[in-house]
Amino acid sequence: MLAQIGITIAQWLVVVLGAPVLAGVIRKTKARLQGRRGAGIFQPYWDLRKLLVKEVVIAENTSWVFRLTPYVAIGTMLLSAFIVPVLTTAAELQFLGNIILLMYVFLLSTFFLALAGLDAGSSFGGMGSSREMAIAALAEPTVMIAIFAIALRAGSTGLNEMINRAASDPLLLLNPGHLLAFLSFFIVALAETGRLPVDNPSTHLELTMIHEAMILEYSGRYLALIEWASFIKLFLFLTLLGNIFFPWGVAVTLQPGAVAIGVFALVIKLGVLALGLAVLETALAKLRLFRVPELLSGSFMLALLAVISFFFLR
Amino acid sequence: MLNSAAMLTLLAASLMLFAGGAAGALVFDRESGRCRRMTHGLALCGTVLVLILGIAGLTGNSFELLLPRILPLAGGLALGLDRLSAFFLLTIAVGVIPSTLFAVGYTRQYRQEQALLGFALNVFVPAMMLVVLSRNVLTFLVFWEAMSLASYFLVMTEKDRDETRSAGWLYMVMTHAGLACLLIGFLAMLQATGSFSMPEWARAAEGVDSGVRSLVFLVMAAGFLSKAGAIPFHVWLPRAHPAAPSHVSAMMSGVMIKLGVYGLIRIGFEWLGPGPGWWGVLIMIVGAVSALLGVLYALIDSDLKCLLAYSSVENIGVILLGVGAGLVFRSYNLGSLAALALMAALYHSLNHTVFKGLLFLSAGSVVHVTGTRITEEMGGLLKRMPHTGAFFLIGSLAISAMPPFNGFISEWLTFQSLLLSFRVPEQFINLVFALCIASLALTAGLAAACFVRAFGITFLALPRGQAVEQAHEADWTMRTSMGLLALACLTLGVAPVLALRVLSGAVNEFLGAAPDLSFDWSNIAAASAFGTIAPLWVAVILALLMLAAWVGLRVYGANFSRRYYETWGCGRAVQTADFEYTAAAFANPFKRVFAFLYRPVEETEIEAHSESRFFVKTITYRHESRSIIEDSIYAPIVATVRRLAAKARTVQSGNVHGYLLYILAALLTLLLFAK
């Protein structure tokens, strides 16, 4: 019991406190790849601290929805941090829900952010909201079909079972369905977390930004909460990619040794994925907004192929 | 436990209350206020009895009633109550009670039409109740038609408007085309089994040729789907529902169309006996198409009530996905999965009644105070109508299947039952299910976008017109009714255990198989551990974490001072509503992505000053999208009917002698055949 509570809190803290540093590592790597020195990997923490001591400026036209949204954004991500198995699949708090719940909790946060984007009455916010919802909606079928592909092999939509089942399969990486599902889920993760080539997280050019346009009116502690929430979302998506598709090292028991290996494995997986993301973001340009649906339908076809391969190879 | 006599007393008492309401409408024709309070009050009391009857039925009470003296030609008036009927009685009551309460305040604006509204309402509600209880052909058809006619008169309340009249006419045509389909099916089954009683068909169906049963299924499914508003039979729905007063829209969208689903469930699972798998596949395809196209049309509509009507088409689609999946599973002898899928469909149907009722009622109070249904003219209403706005937000979250509201639970159940389809050992069926999962997921995403747009453009930012600026909150009856429904959205979302318990009882009795679902106060688990969820804990922990974030900021010592300042706008001089993102602009990415479906026609006219073309005087922008279904299916039918009608006109010469000749010819023909 004590071990359960301990590991649950430990996992949650790893996500919540580790998320900014992951963003920092990606930024640093990107900077080095682009020939810049870049800020230190702990810069996101200093940014958050700076935002927290700043005064909040609120647009006059806004309603309580605008002031509630940052709390919904951080609340949903803090909740998700309990659900995703980060270090071990033996933690029991994942009874809260399966991967479908997780995706809907993410959508809930997007829903409120999009409302807040409309609330200030500026064109930028509305534009961001509209585009964000379009991408979220178009990504949804791929997410579900990729989940279906994984659930078919795992015989479950529970995150723990999915990871345990994948870990017990020695020929995992030779399975075409697994690789196809990974590719499609990877593309969706890029879209959902607002990374290149779908959205550029570091742009502040009005006509190209999506997520940043939507949260343009936020400042001070509200902005800090929203930024933190998006760091956590990125962390969770990369963890899902790492743990579901490359399940080695995730602790199946609460033995201290196993958990230590879990920590080690997590750091390596996230490091590799962060490096991959940085290389990708350096090599790729942002897609035109109306080319994004083509990218997403491509990833949908990959996911569907993963499902078909299961049914025809069984 | 209640005995059968007590149940019948309840039924009779509720019918008497409705009859009293109808009579009151005629007696107090001249006194608008008294008529309004009396008719709606009595309808409300009658519906409360329906609710009690439904709850009694769901807890295992039942009755059978046969009155051979009434309708003697066709085996008398036959009524009966089982758990499935009781569940639909519950759905009816849950939708009707808040709507009639709302109507007490809302119908104040209809001074002239009070008697008609009251009378039609007091026919409409008991007719729906009796449809669900009907146990033989003629009983069913009589009440089905009474329901359609009463709702027609309710739709026609604002009959002075051209739009309403054409909507009413279309509704009349479509509902009778549906009735004709049902008649054909009923008569064919009558011929095949020799019985008027539907429960007897279920027993005799095994002996009937399967080809005949399949044909009957197709014809009757078309009839029921046209009432349910599934694509391609939906054309009347987005016209008739918005044209009706809002409490009627809530009842039609929330309740009446569910009776189409009820009929479909009865024929698919019971009356026509066990059918082949393709029945289910067909219903699933209709469901997937309805869900997707329904939400896509809702997404671009700028009329608030039209949008909600299209979203009803979408939700019927989601329900049909569950029903169709159930039919497929049953044909492969996967009884517990069939029960799970049907349970998901029924739960979504109850949920849709709750949140669509809530949305139509709150849209109604917005339309009531602003005098417009066009979202582009609204904005900023959350500050002027704080309660209505909050209720609309709750409804929007629920219909977009956001946890912790009720829509999420039923959509989650639907997903679970579709995902479990891998147990069907047939690759073609597996593929159909995969595509249905994808379309349901896309529907969910688009629904979220649709309701961000609906709520955001209507209630947030700045008001776009004078009437909207002076809007005020609705009266207490209207707010109470919305509050009840909002509470139901939350309750059915965080504590679904009660609803799940009665539903699994009902489905178990109906299909003879327990659903593959275990649940208690906090947990739901589909197919042992295939998918689990703890809605109550999710809600509690989410709320606690949001609070913790606030407390955490306080403890950390974050800067809590705030300053109000104008919205940033790239250096423009003053912020007005003209700078706001419009509903059309919000929907534009979707219009471009799905252009093959919308086939938009856009016209932009720019009038410039004579001195320089860079000084623009006016810009007119017109946008229109054509309905692909109306153009490709209905337009040819209408054209053919018109051509035939023009030909038939030559027979009608206006010459009295000619008409006498027709009569003679008809008489001779009859005599010839009568022998």
- Give the distance from residue B604's alpha carbon to the nearest chain A alpha carbon, in angstroms: 20
Contact assignment for B530 to A129 by CB distance below 8 Å: no
Which residues in chain A touch residue B546, judged by CB atoms under 8 angstroms apart?
71-72, 74-75
The model's confidence at residue A194, banded by pLDDT at 50, 70 and 90, is: confident
Say yes or no to pLDDT of B392 above 90: yes
Amino acid at B430: N
- Please judge whether A136 and B570 are an interchain contact, meaning their C-beta atoms are less than 8 angstroms apart: no
Q: How much is the pLDDT for B295?
A: 94
Q: Between β-strands B524-526 and B517-519, what pairing exists: parallel, antiparallel or unpaired?
A: antiparallel
pLDDT of residue B526: 86
Contact yes or no for B511/B341 (Cβ under 8 A): no
Confidence band of A207 (pLDDT split at 50, 70, 90):
low
ipTM summary value: 0.95
CA–CA distance, A106 with B548 (Å, rounded to integer): 19
Among the residue ranges A50-59, B151-160, B199-208, B385-394, the one predicted with the least confidence is: B199-208
Taking residues B461-483, what's their average pLDDT? 86
What is the pLDDT at residue A206? Answer: 65
Chain B contact probe: residue of A65, A72, A104, A300 with most B CBs at under 10 A: A104
What pLDDT is recorded for position A51? 93
- Percent of chain B with pLDDT strictly greater than 70: 100
Alpha-carbon distance of B260 to A278, in angstroms, equals 54
For position B417, what pLDDT does the model report?
93
Number of Cβ pairs < 8 A linking chain A and chain B:
267
Check if B586 contacts A (Cβ < 8 Å): yes
Residue A170 pLDDT > 80: no
B136 Cβ contact partners less than 8 Å away, ≥ 6 residues apart: B74, B75, B76, B78, B196, B197, B198
**Residue whose tokens read 């005064």:** A55
**Confidence band for B51, pLDDT divided at 50, 70 and 90:** very high
Amino acid at position B253, single letter: S
> Is B383 in contact with B300 (CB distance < 8 Å)?
no
Name the residue of chain B whose CA is nearest to A159's CA: B531
The stretches of B156-256 forming alpha helices (DSSP H) are 162-193, 198-204, 210-228, 237-243, 246-251
* Global pTM value: 0.94
Residue ranges covered by each domain of chain B: 276-554, 591-626, 632-674
**What is chain B's length?**
675
Residue B415 sits at the chain A interface (C-beta within 8 Å): yes
Across chain B, mean pLDDT equals 90
Selecting from B531, B546, B585 the residue whose C-beta is nearest the C-beta of A71 gives: B546
Place B171 in a pLDDT band, splitting at 50, 70 and 90: very high
The per-residue pLDDT for range B113-130, each reduced to its tens digit, is 888 889 999 999 999 999
Tell me which residue in B553, B568, B581 faces A216 most closely, judged by beta carbons.
Answer: B568
Q: How far is B305 from chain A (nearest CA, A)?
A: 20
For residue B536 the two structure tokens come to: 């109550």
Confidence of residue B198 (pLDDT cuts 50, 70, 90): confident
The number of angstroms, rounded, from the C-alpha of B130 to the middle of its chain's C-alpha atoms is: 19
Question: Is the Cβ of A60 closer than 8 Å to some Cβ of chain B?
Answer: yes
Amino acid letter at B300?
I
Contacts of A122 in chain B (CB under 8 A): 567-569, 575, 579-581
- Bridge partners (DSSP) of residue B374 are B303
Contacts of B263 (CB under 8 A, 6+ apart): B182, B220, B223, B224, B227
Could you give the CA distance from residue B435 to residue B430 in angstroms, rounded to a whole number? 9
Q: Are B403 and B306 in contact (CB under 8 A)?
A: no
| Pairwise CB contact (< 8 Å): A101 & B403 | yes
Chain A neighbors of B431, CB-CB under 8 A: 308, 311
Question: What's the confidence (pLDDT) of residue B364?
Answer: 92
B629 close contact with A: CB closer than 8 A: no
B638 CB-near residues (< 8 Å, 6+ apart)? none
Closest CB from A56, A75, A148 relative to B542: A75
Closest Cα of chain B to A85: distance in Å?
Answer: 15
Chain A contacts of B531, Cβ < 8 Å? 98, 100, 156-158
State pLDDT tens for residues B369-390.
888 888 888 888 999 999 999 9
- Residue B600 pLDDT greater than 70, yes or no: yes
Tell me if A311 and B442 make a contact (CB, 8 A cut-off).
no
What CA–CA distances, in Å, run from A68 to A75, B406, B455, B546? 11, 21, 15, 9
Q: How far is B94 from chain A (nearest CA, A)?
A: 27
B335-367 in b/e burial notation, b at 16+ Cβ within 10 A?
bbbbbbbbbbbbbbbbbbbbbbbbbbbbbbbbb
Q: Would you place residue A312 in the very low, low, confident or very high pLDDT band (cuts 50, 70, 90)?
A: confident
Most confident of A120-124, B116-120, B446-450: B446-450
**B303-344: pLDDT as tens digits:** 999 999 999 999 999 999 999 999 999 999 998 999 999 999
**Chain A residues whose beta carbon lies within 8 Å of the beta carbon of residue B537:** 95-96
pLDDT the model gives residue B399? 95
What is the arithmetic mean of pLDDT over A190-210?
79
Residues in chain A: 314
User: What gap in Å lies between CA B527 and CA B515, rounded to an integer?
Assistant: 9
Q: Given this model, what pLDDT does residue B75 score?
A: 79
CA distance A280 to chain B (A): 26
Smallest Cβ–Cβ distance between B442 and the set A75, A140, A290 belongs to A140
Rounded CA gap, B309 and B331, in Å?
Answer: 33
For the stretch B402-415, pLDDT in tens is 989 999 999 999 99
A304 contact B CB<8A: yes
3-state class of B113 per DSSP? coil
Q: Spell out the SS3 assignment of B479-525.
A: HHHHHHHHHHHHHHHHCCHHHHHHHHHHHHHHHCCCCCEEECCCCEE
Asked whether the beta carbons of residue A308 and residue B438 sit closer than 8 angstroms, the reply is no
Contact across the interface for B383 and A300, Cβ inside 8 Å: no
Please tell me the distance in Å from B90's CA to the nearest CA on chain A: 28
List, for residues B230-241, the tens digit of each pLDDT value. 988 988 999 998
Mean pLDDT for A77-104 is 87
Tell me how far apart the alpha carbons of residues B141 and B630 are, in angstroms, rounded to a whole number: 28
- Virtual CA dihedral for B302, B304, B308, B309, nearest 10 degrees? -80
Is residue B456 less than 8 Å (CB to CB) from chain A? yes
pLDDT tens across A245-278, in order? Answer: 888 888 888 888 888 898 999 999 999 999 999 9
* Interchain contact, A141 vs B558, CB within 8 Å: no
Q: What's residue B675's pLDDT?
A: 63
End-to-end CA distance of chain B: 58
B562 touches chain A (CB under 8 A): yes
Q: How confident is the model at residue B1 (pLDDT cuts 50, 70, 90)?
A: low
Q: A249 vs chain B: nearest CA distance in angstroms? A: 24
User: What's CA B39's distance to the chain center, in Å?
Assistant: 24
- For residue A190, pLDDT beyond 70: yes
